[in-house]
A and B are shown apart, each in its own frame.
Chain A
Amino acid sequence: MNDMRKIERDVDMNDVKISAKGVQVYYGTTHAIKDVDVLIQDKTVTAFIGPSGCGKSTFLRCLNRMNDTIDICRVTGDIRIDGDDIYDKRVDPVQLRAKVGMVFQKPNPFPKSIYDNVAYGPRIHGMAKNKADLDEIVERALRRGAIWDEVKDRLDAPGTGLSGGQQQRLCIARAVATEPEVLLMDEPCSALDPIATGQVEELIDELRNDYSVVIVTHSMQQAARVSQKTAFFHLGNLVEYGETGQIFTNPQDPRTESYISGKIG
């Protein structure tokens, strides 16, 4: 548990990027998220932890409206990014998702070349005026994804031919290529080995300089290593939310304490 002390957390003076109030999510009749309030800060890594099935992924998907694609899912409450209600009728979820990027649990590169994987987002959003522009965007994204050196000589190779860790970093590069403001990551390291995990964690720490990062993880060590803020979910409730150091060393709620000490989950 040295990790926890190692990271001297920044004082949270950052602006609020996402504010959620009274969020309820239902899958049919299942009440998956129960009245969650949370303020997520800019240029901060926020970790969602909790036993599996407690609703971490569900809540994460509320933030870029990926839940819209699930027929039976119903979201109520108020979620704002930079003060804009993202569930407002005028908001196009497609535009929202360009602004709120997402990295999934299982690496899911497109069955296309590495280059096309990264270039796809910028292309459909018309971010590049010409080929040279696009090349530059791709290179920048791959560098940010900390994978440029490994793939620069084979940009035409299929993205699906990379190793699991490389694929996940490619997916991160793909997500940052569209210049999002928020990056959502749902257990991005659960399919990776410890070395690849280390690389991705390092990357997340760097991404904090530009983005507000929200990461779901089942590993408390990971939460402790990469995040400044931690939210603990339990059975659809947000039980406790605060400074990561605070949550891990001095939890207020008995449920948090028993989860962290390994008694539930």
Chain B
Amino acid sequence: MTDTNMDGPATPQRKNSLMAPDARTKQRNAAEARFKAYGIIAILIGVFFLVVLAASILRNGLPAFTQTVVELEFTLTEEQYNDAESKVLKTAAYKEFLVTAFRENLSERGVEVPFDESAIDRIVGQAGNTLRTYFRANEDQLGQPVTFSLGASSRVDGYFKGRVTREDLSNSRFLNAEDLDIVDVLADVGIMKQQFNWTFVTGKDAGVDNPGGAGIGASVIGSFFMMLVVLMLALPIGVAASIYLEEFAPKNRWTDLIEVNISNLAAVPSIVFGILGLAVFIQLAGLPQSAPLVGGLVLTLMTLPTIIISTRASLKAVPPSIRSAALGVGASKMQSVFHHVLPLAMPGILTGTIIGLAQALGETAPLLLIGMVGFVAREYPDGIVSGFTDANSAMPAQIYTWAARADQAFYEKAWGGIIVLLVFLLAMNVLAIILRRRFERRW
């Protein structure tokens, strides 16, 4: 396929009319059309997987945001309170009152169901304890009607969400088919219903036997403090290092070596940083275990190369003529960098930083090594300092812990946690876009 027309002046060979494409043009057009088709196919495949992923995340995760509750108006008299508090089995006494209230409420509505103490255990779980805790804290509410929203047990919740069926229950000691009849009746009269699960969004992790009480809130706080550490350390250190390397450092063997090492660091598996953090920050430096501060330090190590590489790339992309212009009017090197080069590189630096932070936010392995596993997230921090130093978990580690638990209800929580994590990532990306728009300028 040699092109004789290419060199030398055009010869009388070119006699074809422009109205019809010649063979070569047709061939090129066909190649272009083929390439476009491949591109569209590639994009469609990508979109397909994205849609499947998003759909399955939403299908599995959204139920975590609703919760089945038993809502009941309940009045505890002062005598009942004193009576219950004088007993040995105090919570059992409260439970009895509750069952009575249930029965009364149901018979008022003209519904007849075999409702007893063991049924309430299976359907509502530890209701007596909830009541006791409430009234001990609010003694002034005695004698007043109080509306309680008691979380249903995980199997009843699963029944509402379609996770548990009657067939599954044939030989379960936790819930049996007759209980489901009660549940159906309660749902019919509106005592039992689904509502938004604030506990999941704001709560802490709960024990393996209490999926209903488990929430991701505490680990969101853990993640937040870690990101704060990463941002406060990785951004200034990374940008300062990049500016020095790119604008000031002499180009010699040492700086070459540093450059190569930074690029290599970006490729080191995160778990390596985790064990490094365990050895250096916890064992050597004696920082507290499972603390977001240590997690943040480890993630800073991980994020630094990403920030440095992207910052250097955006500094490189600033046209040299801008630097010459600044130096030409007598600006010092530092003035030229800070007044002209850095503002122009800002959008790129921000993009790199957000990408680095997003990676850090989703990182699990190094956190497990320094003890930030999910079940640690049992308490909210008391303040800023304890937010950094108290044992806590992070979103991905919490999700990992839930996914590993036996109860199916925790599996649902794990998917719900993924949604929360993705919402955070999305928010960070939106922030990045907004910041980039603000800093973007033409040159």
User: Chain A interface (Cβ within 8 Å of chain B)?
Assistant: 64, 66, 69, 71, 94-95, 97-99, 101-104, 106, 108-111, 120-121, 124-125, 158, 160, 171, 174-175, 177-178
Contacts and interface: CB of A to CB of B under 8 A. Distances in A.
A96 to B, nearest CB: 8
Contact of A98 (B322, B330, B340, B344): B330
B107 interface: no
Contacts of A97: 327-330
B328 A66 contact: yes
B250 interface: yes
B328 A175 contact: yes
B249 to A, nearest CB: 10
Interface residues of B, number: 22
Contacts of B324: 66, 69, 102, 104, 108
B14 interface: no
Interface in B306-321: 319, 321
B442 interface: yes
Contacts of A109: 325
A30 B332 CA distance: 28
A160 B329 contact: no
Contacts of A95: 330
A222 B264 CA distance: 54
Contacts of A158: 441-442
Nearest to A177: B329
Nearest to A125: B330
Scoring B441, B442, B443 by chain A CB atoms within 10 A of each residue's CB, the highest score goes to B443
Nearest to B318: A111
B173 interface: no
Nearest to B325: A108
B340 A110 contact: yes
B335 interface: yes
B330 A94 contact: yes
Given A71-B251, A97-B327, A175-B329, A108 B442 contact: no
A111 B441 CA distance: 7
Contacts of A104: 321, 324-325, 328
Given A66-B328, A120-B331, 17 more contacts: A69-B323, A71-B251, A97-B327, A97-B329, A99-B330, A101-B328, A101-B329, A102-B324, A104-B325, A108-B321, A120-B326, A120-B339, A121-B330, A124-B335, A174-B329, A175-B328, A177-B329
Given A71-B250, A111-B441, A171 B325 contact: yes
B327 A106 contact: no
Interface of B: 250-251, 319, 321-332, 335, 339-340, 344, 441-443
A108 B322 contact: yes
Nearest to A105: B321
B327 A160 contact: no
Scoring B329, B332, B339 by chain A CB atoms within 10 A of each residue's CB, the highest score goes to B329
B321 A178 contact: no
29 contacts: A66-B324, A94-B327, A94-B330, A95-B330, A98-B330, A102-B328, A104-B328, A108-B319, A108-B322, A108-B324, A108-B325, A110-B325, A110-B326, A110-B340, A111-B442, A111-B443, A120-B326, A120-B329, A121-B329, A121-B330, A124-B331, A124-B339, A125-B330, A158-B442, A160-B442, A160-B443, A171-B325, A174-B325, A178-B329
A73 B130 CA distance: 80
B331 A94 contact: yes
A65 to B, nearest CB: 9
Contacts of B332: 94
A178 B330 contact: yes
Contacts of B443: 111, 160
